[in-house]
């Protein structure tokens, strides 16, 4: 069975001031398989489940990119965003949370909320879980499973079971071992 894997690639572009420069970042869209699309911009890649139920987004990259991410999503579908799921708390996956979290519930492993509550003023997950959670959406089961003591203490792997795609956040070393 062919499984498509979405990797989060950390390509850090830090200017002399220490502030990242997002002015040259554009969002590219790739149809991965089945319902699942990938958006690449800066920081962790975004996965989208797109279909009749609307849109589920996995990770949100950086706040500065939110308007460009919204435009890319609208190119794929006019459906409504329904859920945002975070793979872990790092800023290149969650600093865009506030741009979406006022409209849709943010879902994450419990430790992601705990860490964001320490580090970020807003954009915290409102639905949390310990070991795993299933979202039945766009005709398939989307399974988020916690891998403790991995890249952070809150990492999840997100498996789009019908589309045969996994979004592995920043867990790639562990996942390459698991799939052998």
Q: Considering beta carbons, is residue 35 or 45 the nearer one to Zn ion? A: 45
C-alpha closest to that of 170 among 153, 160, 161: 153
Scanning 33-41, 104-112, 132-140, 168-176 for contacts with Zn ion by CB under 5 A, the matching segment is: 168-176
Q: Considering beta carbons, is residue 55 or 65 the nearer one to Zn ion? A: 65
Question: Taking CB under 5 A as the rule, does residue 170 contact Zn ion?
Answer: yes
The alpha carbon dihedral of 54, 60, 65, 76 has a sign of negative
Question: Taking CB under 5 A as the rule, does residue 155 contact Zn ion?
Answer: no
In contact, 35 and 142? CB cutoff 8 Å: no
Q: How far is the CB of 85 from Zn ion (least distance, A)?
A: 15
Q: Considering beta carbons, is residue 64 or 170 the nearer one to Zn ion? A: 170
Scanning 65-73, 74-82, 87-95, 125-133 for contacts with Zn ion by CB under 5 A, the matching segment is: 87-95
Q: How far is the CB of 87 from Zn ion (least distance, A)?
A: 8
Q: Considering beta carbons, is residue 64 or 92 the nearer one to Zn ion? A: 92
Q: How far is the CB of 90 from Zn ion (least distance, A)?
A: 3
Phi, psi of 19 (to 5 degrees): -85, 140
| # chain residues binding Zn ion, by CB under 5 A | 2
Neighbours of 4 (CB within 10 A): 17
Question: Taking CB under 5 A as the rule, does residue 167 contact Zn ion?
Answer: no
Q: How far is the CB of 2 from Zn ion (least distance, A)?
A: 26
Neighbours of 169 (CB within 10 A): 29
| Rounded Cα–Cα distance for residues 134 and 149 (Å) | 21
Question: Taking CB under 5 A as the rule, does residue 90 contact Zn ion?
Answer: yes
Q: Considering beta carbons, is residue 52 or 118 the nearer one to Zn ion? A: 118
Give the interface with Zn ion as residue ranges (CB under 5 A): 90, 170
């Amino acid at each position: 069975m062919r499984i498509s894997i979405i990797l989060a690639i950390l390509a850090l572009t830090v200017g002399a001031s220490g502030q990242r420069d997002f002015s040259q970042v554009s969002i590219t869209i790739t149809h991965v398989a089945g319902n699942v699309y990938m958006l690449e911009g800066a920081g962790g890649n975004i996965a989208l489940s797109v279909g009749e139920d609307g849109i589920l987004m996995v990770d949100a990259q950086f706040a500065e990119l939110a308007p460009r991410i919204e435009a890319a999503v609208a190119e794929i579908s006019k459906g409504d965003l329904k859920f945002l799921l975070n793979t872990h708390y790092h800023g290149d996956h969650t600093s865009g949370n506030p741009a979406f979290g006022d409209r849709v519930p943010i879902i994450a492993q419990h430790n992601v909320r705990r860490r964001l509550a320490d580090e970020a003023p807003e954009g915290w997950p409102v639905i949390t879980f310990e070991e795993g959670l299933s979202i039945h959406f766009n005709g398939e089961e989307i399974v988020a499973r916690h891998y403790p003591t991995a890249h952070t203490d809150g990492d999840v792997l997100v498996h789009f079971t019908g589309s045969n795609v996994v979004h592995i956040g920043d867990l790639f070393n562990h996942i390459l071992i698991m799939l052998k």
